[in-house]
Amino acid sequence: MTKTQKIEFVIKTLQKIYPEIPIPLNHKDPYTLLIAVLLSAQCTDVRVNKITPILFSKADNPFDMVKMSQEEIKEIIKPCGLSPMKSKGIYGLSKILIEKYNGQVPQSFEGLEELPSVGHKTASVVMSQAFGVPAFPVDTHIHRLLYRWNLSNGKSVIQTEKDAKRLFPKELWNDLHLQIIWYGREFSPARGWVLENDIITSRIGRKSVLNEYAKTK
């Protein structure tokens, strides 16, 4: 199978499995999405979705958020982990949004990545899901799967993102990054992986990965 055929197979398979794509993090606007994505660092989406309603019932916009203290924010988001750093980031970026952007989330990678605790991946999620700008945020699932599928060398998430953008059509990036995340969770996890259930990897997977899997059987 050529690389072009592999790409076509991945796209068709993911579109068949996920014709409608669930949004992992609950939110109502760019600001609440930004906060939810920030909270999701080293935390499951399920847990974030349990904590954000509590936080957003008190402050779902930057103006109300800065009325809270960092300590108050930290106590609410503690179950998400890294609460000292995340609470500082949430308070700091909310203050900047008020002072520099009239309370609005900037619609550019540059503007987002200048905010405290907002890296390229977080900015990419917000740009794609909140503003519809083509982006390919790479999380652990995408990084793992593109390596397993022999579509990237797995050396860094930066390289994986470059490879994904080079290989997949730009108009599909926003859907594909979510479809791959869901696929990774359901069919190709890091642990408890059952190759027979993994349609894509069993068809186009990297030989070294498949051989390593075979040794565990």
Q: Where in the chain is the domain with CATH 1.10.1670.10?
A: 3-21+137-215
The CATH number of domain 3-21+137-215 is 2.40.70.10 = no
Q: Residue 116 — very low, low, confident or very high, per pLDDT cuts 50/70/90?
A: very high
At 141-161, the pLDDT tens digits run 999 999 999 999 989 999 999
Taking alpha carbons only, the member of 109, 128, 118 closest to residue 179 is 128
Quickly name the fold that domain 30-129 has. Endonuclease III; domain 1 (1.10.340)
At 154-188, the pLDDT tens digits run 899 999 999 999 999 999 999 999 999 999 999 99
Give the residue numbers marked as catalytic: 121, 139
Amino acid at 213: Y
Amino acid at 66: V
Taking alpha carbons only, the member of 210, 180, 173 closest to residue 195 is 210
Query: What is the residue-wise DSSP string for 2-61?
Result: -HHHHHHHHHHHHHHH-SS---SS--SSHHHHHHHHHHTTTS-HHHHHHHHHHHHHH-SS
